[in-house]
């Protein structure tokens, strides 16, 4: 059922959504552009650095060899952004994810604002207050990019039926292909599932069957293309590795398994506030029963269907991680903001009060939390003077907005969002990067190695694990040796440099290697590491 909107009102909503997306983008990228890569980012920054040195390919590379778990799409984005600067930085690495996050913000507003601008702003705020969204936006996140693709596909289908927008079916198909290019088979299946849930709930059986069949054909073609490119890149052995890492490894749990209900339970924390509030709103809506109707409730129904199809679908594979569920988050945020459509009733009034109360108190709660953290971890925290001033100003502004009925809800939401993001960028992120830093140790180690060149051995670090966190800090090609046991270490010919965990070094006491005095010691990825030189 299509709603009638004047062209001027549609243009106004689109303009507002673009402004909101641009403001969100600034929030997502603000900060130091030369931050060291840590954690999961290390792998993707290493991909981009090798591509910058050797040129693009069908798959990213590590140690000069193609890497089977991902196609090169996301790395190509970073590579293109890094070309003008001549180097890969945290800014160029994060920017594709930041654009995806800004697109999600803009699309959430476009979906909801025709029903209620207040509902739309609260939905955006609840999206931005999810810590999983915050941490993934300030990182390289393929799942965030997939969430943007999935929401865009859902929006195109919904906008045609409700906003008199052109059908743009070819854009839907292109989005499905883009999803596959970014995230592999799951990148096509998730947006297809969301589309099919929408057509099912809206009673569009022909569209459901048509889109489902076309998506199946696309999936077969995309998989065939992927395997062909894998064969070109690395031969038959690499084809089998791509199949294992992108399909069978996730399904059979060889990459880590979790319970079937993992997403339904863990999301209470991983996707708070949006997910738990969405559950409460759905309970209230079910209690209200047939007393409600209208396009707002229909949108909630479609969001429930899309969110559930993502959660149920991702619960089938054994490998589960919180970030995989990001395509569900915009739907949960929209549902959680539903009471702000202006619904009557004590339950909805109470929910509006609870949400506004959280917005109001959040800056103050963060101040209290930081005071407690300073007492326990004072040496690890940066100076908190600036953030205390920022949070105090935001808390004062929030209290003042209580008396401005017109600006109250949107203003309180903005204060809460700014408080959380300021705390994350100014306190949590610096602490995390200091704890998990690998750049300082690597650079100091390489200075010593360059003065007396010899082969480098990374002991017990794992070629695809700790070793990448060392290699990501290099701006040149290097092929280290990898050892796992003391026997392998004893067989190494001199001269050689060895990097290892201090605990492994202490385990060698009483042997020839254990008597070697470390040339250097330091913190590496939250652990103590040593550099040994065997002349």
pLDDT in tens, 168-209: 899 999 999 999 999 999 999 999 999 999 999 999 999 999
Task: Say if CB 168 and CB 180 are below 8 A apart.
Answer: no
Sign of the dihedral defined by the CA atoms of residues 266, 267, 273, 275, in that order = negative
pLDDT, residue 381, reads 87
Pairing outcome for strands 481-483 and 65-66: unpaired
Element (H, E) at 459: strand 456-459
User: What's the farthest any 2 CA atoms get from each other in the chain?
Assistant: 82
The total of other beta-carbon atoms located within 10 Å of residue 65's CB is: 14
Q: Per-domain residue ranges for the chain?
A: 7-343, 366-435, 439-534
- Cα separation, 284 vs 500, whole angstroms: 56
Q: Which residues contact 462 (CB under 8 A, 6 or more apart)?
A: 482
Q: Tell me, what DSSP letter sits at residue 525?
A: T
Query: Would you mind telling me the total number of residues written for the chain in this entry?
Result: 535
Q: Tell me, what DSSP letter sits at residue 492?
A: P
Q: Which residues of the chain have pLDDT under 70?
A: 1-7, 251-257, 289-292
- Cα separation, 505 vs 435, whole angstroms: 21
- Cα separation, 413 vs 63, whole angstroms: 46
Backbone angles phi, psi at 527, to 5 degrees: -130, 165
Torsion of CA 232, 236, 239, 240, to 10 degrees: -170
Task: Say if CB 112 and CB 119 are below 8 A apart.
Answer: yes
Nearest to 129 by CA among 278, 266, 272, 268: 272
pLDDT, residue 4, reads 54
pLDDT, residue 179, reads 97
Residues 158-181 as b/e (b if ≥16 CB within 10 A, e otherwise) read bbbbbbebeeeeeebbebbbbbbb
Q: Tell me, what DSSP letter sits at residue 317?
A: S
Token pair, residue 501, equals: 């965990």
- Cα separation, 266 vs 253, whole angstroms: 18
Task: Say if CB 500 and CB 460 are below 8 A apart.
Answer: yes
pLDDT, residue 512, reads 87
Token pair, residue 123, equals: 């939905």
- Cα separation, 470 vs 464, whole angstroms: 11
Q: In what order do the strands lie in the sheet with 496-501?
A: 481-483, 456-459, 496-501, 527-534, 520-524
Nearest to 117 by CA among 357, 405, 342: 342
pLDDT, residue 314, reads 94
Task: Say if CB 136 and CB 68 are below 8 A apart.
Answer: no
Q: Tell me, what DSSP letter sits at residue 464?
A: I
The DSSP secondary structure of 415-453, one letter per residue, reads HHHHHHHHHIIIIIHHHHHHHT--HHHHHHHHHHHHHS-
Token pair, residue 20, equals: 């909101």
Pairing outcome for strands 496-501 and 61-62: unpaired
Q: Which residue has the tokens 């920022």?
A: 390
Task: Say if CB 54 and CB 64 are below 8 A apart.
Answer: yes
Task: Say if CB 36 and CB 473 are below 8 A apart.
Answer: yes
Helix axis angle, 205-243 to 185-201, nearest 10° = 170
Query: 26, exposed or middle or buried, with CB in 10 Å at 0-12, 13-18, 19+?
Result: exposed
pLDDT, residue 1, reads 45
Task: Say if CB 336 and CB 278 are below 8 A apart.
Answer: yes
Q: Which residues contact 126 (CB under 8 A, 6 or more apart)?
A: 273, 274, 277, 332, 333, 336, 337, 355
**SS percent in the chain: helix, strand, coil, step 5:** 70, 5, 25
pLDDT, residue 301, reads 96
């Amino acid at each position: 059922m299509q709603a009638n909107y004047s062209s001027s009102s549609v243009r106004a909503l689109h303009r507002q959504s673009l402004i909101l997306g641009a403001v969100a983008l600034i929030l997502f990228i603000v900060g130091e552009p030369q931050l060291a890569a840590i954690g999961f980012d290390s792998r993707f920054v290493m991909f981009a650095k090798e591509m910058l040195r050797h040129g693009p390919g069908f798959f990213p590379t590590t140690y000069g060899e193609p890497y089977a778990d991902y196609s090169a799409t996301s790395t190509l984005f970073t590579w293109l952004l890094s070309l003008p600067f001549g180097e890969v930085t945290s800014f160029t690495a994060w920017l594709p994810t930041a654009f995806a996050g800004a697109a999600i913000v803009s699309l959430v507003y476009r979906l909801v604002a025709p029903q209620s601008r207040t509902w739309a702003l609260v939905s955006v705020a609840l999206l931005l207050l999810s810590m999983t969204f915050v941490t993934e936006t300030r990182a390289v996140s393929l799942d965030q990019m997939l969430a943007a693709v999935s929401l865009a596909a859902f929006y195109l289908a919904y906008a045609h039926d409700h906003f008199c927008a052109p059908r743009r079916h070819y854009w839907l198909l292109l989005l499905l292909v883009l999803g596959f290019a970014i995230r592999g088979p799951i990148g096509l299946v998730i947006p297809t599932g969301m589309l099919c849930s929408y057509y099912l709930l809206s009673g569009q059986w022909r569209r459901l069957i048509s889109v489902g069949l076309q998506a199946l054909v696309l999936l077969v073609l995309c998989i065939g293309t992927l395997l062909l490119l894998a064969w070109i890149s690395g031969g038959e052995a690499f084809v089998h590795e791509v199949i294992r890492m992108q399909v069978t490894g996730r399904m059979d749990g060889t990459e880590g398994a979790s319970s079937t209900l993992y997403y339904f339970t863990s999301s209470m924390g991983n996707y708070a506030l949006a997910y738990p509030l969405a559950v409460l709103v759905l309970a209230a809506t079910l209690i209200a029963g047939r007393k409600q109707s209208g396009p707002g409730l229909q949108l909630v129904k479609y969001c429930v269907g899309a969110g559930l199809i993502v959660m149920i679908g991702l619960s089938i594979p054994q490998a589960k991680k919180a970030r995989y569920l990001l395509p569900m988050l915009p739907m949960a945020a929209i549902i959680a903001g539903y009471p702000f459509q202006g619904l009557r009733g004590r339950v909805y009034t109470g929910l509006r009060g609870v949400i506004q109360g959280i917005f109001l108190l959040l800056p103050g709660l963060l101040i209290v939390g930081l005071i407690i953290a300073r007492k326990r971890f004072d040496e690890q925290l940066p100076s908190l003077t600036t953030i205390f001033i920022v949070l105090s100003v935001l808390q004062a502004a929030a209290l003042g907005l209580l008396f401005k009925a017109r600006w109250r809800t949107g203003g309180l939401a903005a204060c809460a969002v700014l408080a959380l993001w300021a705390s994350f960028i100014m306190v949590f992120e610096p602490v995390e990067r200091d704890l998990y830093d690998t750049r300082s140790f690597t650079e100091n180690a390489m200075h010593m190695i360059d003065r007396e060149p010899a082969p480098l051995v990374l002991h017990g670090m794992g070629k695809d694990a700790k070793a990448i966190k060392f290699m990501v800090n290099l701006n040149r090609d290097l092929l280290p040796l990898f050892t796992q046991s003391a026997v392998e270490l004893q067989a190494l010919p001199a001269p050689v440099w060895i990097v290892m965990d201090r605990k492994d070094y202490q385990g060698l006491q009483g042997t020839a290697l254990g008597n070697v005095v470390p040339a250097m010691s330091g913190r590496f990825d939250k652990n103590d590491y040593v550099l040994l030189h065997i002349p």
